[in-house]
Amino acid sequence: MADDFLNIDLVFRNGLKDFEALPPDSVWDSVQTSLPGKKERNIRLMFARAASVAILTASAGTLLWYAGSELSDGINRQQAVTLNQEQMPGGSYVTPKAVATPVINTPVISDVATQQSPPGEPARNGLSQSPEQLRTADLSADFKKENRFLPLALIQYKAVEETGFGGKEKREKEFLLSDIELTDQQQGGEKWKLGAAFLPAYYSKFSFGNDDAAKDYIKEEDLAFSYSGGLSLAFNVSRRLSVQAGMVLNTMGQKIEGLTSYSGFIKYTEAKSGSDFAIRTASGTINSVNKDIYFTDSRNISRVLTMYTADIFDPVKANLQYVGSSVIQNLKYLELPVSLHYKLIDRTVDISMSGGISYNILVGNNSYVQSEGVKYMIGKTTGLSPVTFSSSLGLGMEYKLSPSMTLSVEPVFRYYITPLGGITGSSIHPYSFGVMSGFFYNF
C-alpha cells in the first residue's frame, strides 16, 4: 500500500516537474503596471546618469571648442586675403572697413470513484468513455483548444531508490534554474540599427568679438529653418550605450533684409567679368555674378559694396525693374556625425540622451533674389569655411513599433564649434534647435 502511494506521488511529481503553460499576455500587462517603488529609484538613477552624460559632453565640447578656435582662425586669415585681392571690383568701397569673412475552464469531471454509469446506460462522464474520447473530448479539450500549453515532458518512471523521492531536502534539486535559451526578441539582442531620419531645425547664431558691423548684420538677417535628412547606422555597445554614425545632407539658409534689387542693369554695366556688387552678410560675402541685377542698401546698414553707388547711379531713373527687398542665402552641408547614445529609461518607450560631433563639408552654396516665384541666381558666398565642426546634444524617445522597427523622436540642440564664416574680427557660430524623427531597422 505504501508503495502504491509513493508511486502515485511520483507519477504526479515527475509528470508535472517540467510542466509549463503560457499565461495570457494580460498578466504581464497587469504586472508591469503594478510595480511602484521602482520609480523613485529610477528617477534618482536617471538624474545621476543624465548629470554624468551632460558633464562628459560639456567637457568634450569645451576641448573641441578650443581646438576649433585655432582652426577657424587659420581659415579666417586665408579667406580674408582671397576676397580682398581677387573678388572685389575695382574702384572705391562704400564702407571703409575691410571686407572679409570667415566661418500576453477546464470541464468538471465527476469523481469516478463515486460515479459509474449503470450497465447499458450511456456514459455520463469522461472516464467512462473510451480513452480516445476521454483525451480528446474531456480531459484536455479546453487546454488543447486554447493551445496554451507548451510541449510537455513525458512521464518517465524510475525506482523509488533512483529518484530519491521523499525528502524536503531534495526540493532544491527540482528547482534548479533551467538554462533556457532566449529568443533574440526576448534578449533584446539586436546589435545594429539602420535608419533614416529627418531633422527640421530653427537656426540662430552667436557672434563673438567686438565687431559692431557683424552685430548689425545679424539683426537684419532673418532666422531661417533648416532641413536635414540622411541615413544612420548605430551599434549597441551594451544594453544602454550605443554609438551612432551617419551621413546627412543639411540645407540651411537665411533671408537677408535691407537690400533692394532691380533687374535690367546689364545694359549699364561696364565690367565684362568679375563682380559689380558684393553683399556683406554675417557669414560671408556674396559676390554677385548676375550682371542684370542691381543692388542697393535700403536701410542704414551698409552691406552693398559697389562702385555704382546711389550718388552715381539711380535705378529708378534708369528705369530698372524692381525685383525684391531681400536676398536668400542657401548653404548645403554633407555632414558626417558621430554620436554616443545612453538610455536613461529602458522601458516600452526608451528615453535616451545623446551627445556627439559632426564633420561638415560645404557642398552647396548659392544666393538668389526672388520675384513672383522666379529666382534670380546671383552667386556664391565667399569666405565660408569649406569644413566645419558642430556638436550636438539630444534627449530622445524611442518606441518599438515591432520587434525590428523603431520610431525615434529626438529634440536636438546643435552648436557649431567652428564658425561657418564671418567678418574679420568676429566669429559667427550658428546654433539650432530641432526635432529629429526617424525610423530604424534593428538587426
Partner 1 sequence: MNDIKEIIKGCLEGSRRDQELLYRRHAPKLYGVCLQYSDSDEEARDILQEGFIKIFQNLQNYKHEGSFEGWMRRIVVNTALEKYRARHNLYRVDDIETINEPEAEPGNDDYAGVQADDLLYLIRNLPPKYRMVFNLYAIEGYSHKEISEMLSISEGTSKSNLSRARVILQKKVSLYTGLRRSVING
Closest approach of Cβ 190 to partner 1, in Å?
A: 12
Count of residues engaged in binding partner 1, rule: CB under 8 A: 79
Q: Is 399 an interacting residue with respect to partner 1 (CB under 8 A)?
A: no
Nearer to partner 1, 26 or 273 (CB): 26
Binders of partner 1 among residues 36 to 75 (CB under 8 A) are 37-39, 41-42, 45
Q: Is 153 an interacting residue with respect to partner 1 (CB under 8 A)?
A: yes
Q: Which of 53, 83, 139, 248 binds partner 1 (CB under 8 A)?
A: 139
Tell me the window of 57-65, 180-188, 208-216, 315-323 that interacts with partner 1 (CB under 8 A).
Answer: 180-188
Classify residue 344 as left (phi > 0), alpha (psi -120 to 50) or beta: alpha
Backbone angles phi, psi at 132, to 5 degrees: -65, -45
Binders of partner 1 among residues 210 to 269 (CB under 8 A) are 239
Specify the 3-state DSSP secondary structure of 122: coil
Q: Which of 132, 161, 162, 372 binds partner 1 (CB under 8 A)?
A: 132
Binders of partner 1 among residues 285 to 344 (CB under 8 A) are none
Q: How far apart are the first and last CA of the chain?
A: 60
Q: Is 5 an interacting residue with respect to partner 1 (CB under 8 A)?
A: yes
Sign of CA dihedral 402, 404, 407, 408: positive
What's the burial of 182, exposed, middle or buried (CB within 10 Å: 0-12/13-18/19+)? Answer: exposed
Instruction: Please state, in angstroms and rounded to a whole number, the distance separating the CA atoms of residues 376 and 371.
Output: 8
Q: Which of 56, 98, 112, 361 binds partner 1 (CB under 8 A)?
A: 112
**Pairing mode, if any, of strands 241-263 and 221-222?**
antiparallel
Closest approach of Cβ 124 to partner 1, in Å?
A: 14
Smallest CA-to-CA distance from 236 within 188, 196, 199 is with 188
* CB 247 within 8 Å of CB 335: yes
Binding mask 353-382 for partner 1 (x = CB under 8 A): ------------------------------
- DSSP classification of residue 185: H
Instruction: Please state, in angstroms and rounded to a whole number, the distance separating the CA atoms of residues 172 and 87.
Output: 87
Q: Which of 54, 56, 137, 152 binds partner 1 (CB under 8 A)?
A: 152
Closest approach of Cβ 41 to partner 1, in Å?
A: 6
Q: Is 8 an interacting residue with respect to partner 1 (CB under 8 A)?
A: yes
Nearer to partner 1, 19 or 66 (CB): 19
Smallest CA-to-CA distance from 284 within 102, 78, 76 is with 102
Tell me the window of 52-60, 89-97, 138-146, 197-205 that interacts with partner 1 (CB under 8 A).
Answer: 138-146
Residues 6+ apart with CB under 8 A from 28: 104
How many other C-beta atoms can be found within 10 angstroms of the C-beta atom of residue 74?
A: 11
Closest approach of Cβ 26 to partner 1, in Å?
A: 7
Q: Is 168 an interacting residue with respect to partner 1 (CB under 8 A)?
A: yes
- 344: cell is 536613461
Nearer to partner 1, 153 or 363 (CB): 153
